[in-house]
Amino acid sequence: MKPEKKITLLIMGSILSLLSLQLQAQTNVVKINAIKSNNYGIQYFLPKTLLEIEVEYSETKQKAGIYAKYASKYLGIDSQSVISEDLTYYTLDKVNVKALGIPNKNESYLIEFKAKTTAPYVYLTENGLICTINAEYNPQISAEIKKTDNPSNPATLKPPINTQSVYTEEYLRAGSVSKMAEIAAKQIYRIRESRSDILTGEAENAPRDGEALKIVLANLDEQEKIWMELFTGSSQTEKKNDKFSIEPVADMEKEILFRFSKYRGIVSVDDLSGSPVYINLKDLKTVEIPEVDPKRKAKEPQSIVYNIPGTAFVEVYYGLNCFYKGEHPVTQFGATQILATSLFEDKKAPVQIFFYPHTGAVKQIIQ
């Protein structure tokens, strides 16, 4: 196979491997001209791949109802539906993996153009990764549009309720826990009766306006919830997240990424109170490492070095559950190739080269 065809096939392979890449938008780029003041040379870095593991988990705080033992007696609620003790626990919800590109300080190169080259210029990211040569670079900036409720209409808002204001004088003056539980249960039945009367049209002075009726019913629902939680207890869940980074250098099998405890959440690898969350990483050997002829390289000192990223299979699992499985381009599992700067010496047909900044791979060559 001729060297030119081999390079073309390797470039196509790198483009296919990039289909699974989750790119972050480059919002800041710098245009640098190759001019006499910088000796027609522009320095850049090739990236190395960093795998960022995003972990989503939940923290649930349960608080026991102070009248839990009276729930069955006064409200007929089964004991299994009642929170009997305070408890905080955690659940692992989701794991996602992203492939990011960061400058490889050991892969710094200088593009040396000749003085007669047609107006050469290069776009670099703010941290020195190459984007284009002789071509404008317009990064795609994507913003997630978050839907929010419109607070402009006060009639659609649920008014906050002060918990203490719900408690009646009779309840507060009760002389024993048993009596307070009994009064609380009666108040729940009164609220339910009031709601029923409003819905059936039997209540006097019930609001006729639809929005006003919704507010009244929402208020009754909130009051009932406050009283009910005295018996059943309450539960609040908060979503949390954390991140871990791995720089792939070789295959990994059943490596502990972190540990997860039902009662403490994410803990360190050394903390045996948690069960291990494992990561497997395998180089799929998608890139044939080309042999570089030292004599040929010596004859082409002025060249553009680019990456041909390999592909890795990544799997994250916890216990018997696999939380993530996917493939990602990894520059460390690939190779580098070169393009001669003589491409830019044809004034009649100036060449434009586009790169994937996060992998350093060639995206497109236009002539």
The pTM score is 0.71
What are 216-266's pLDDT values in tens digits?
889 999 999 999 999 999 999 999 999 999 999 999 999 999 999 999 999
* DSSP structure string for 268-317: -TT-TTSEEEEEEEEE---S--PPP-HHHHHH--SEEEEEEEEEEEEEEE
When the pLDDT of each residue in the chain is averaged and rounded to a whole number, the result is 79
Residue 87, number of CB atoms within 10 A of its CB: 14
Per-residue pLDDT at 134: 83
Among residues 356, 301, 350, which one has the least CA distance to residue 334?
356
Residue 34 clears pLDDT 70, i.e. is over it? no
CA distance 256 to 55: 14
Per-residue pLDDT at 3: 39
What phi and psi values does residue 181 have, to the nearest 5 degrees? -65, -40
Per-residue pLDDT at 41: 65
What are 263-319's pLDDT values in tens digits?
999 999 999 999 999 999 999 999 876 665 555 544 455 578 899 999 999 999 999
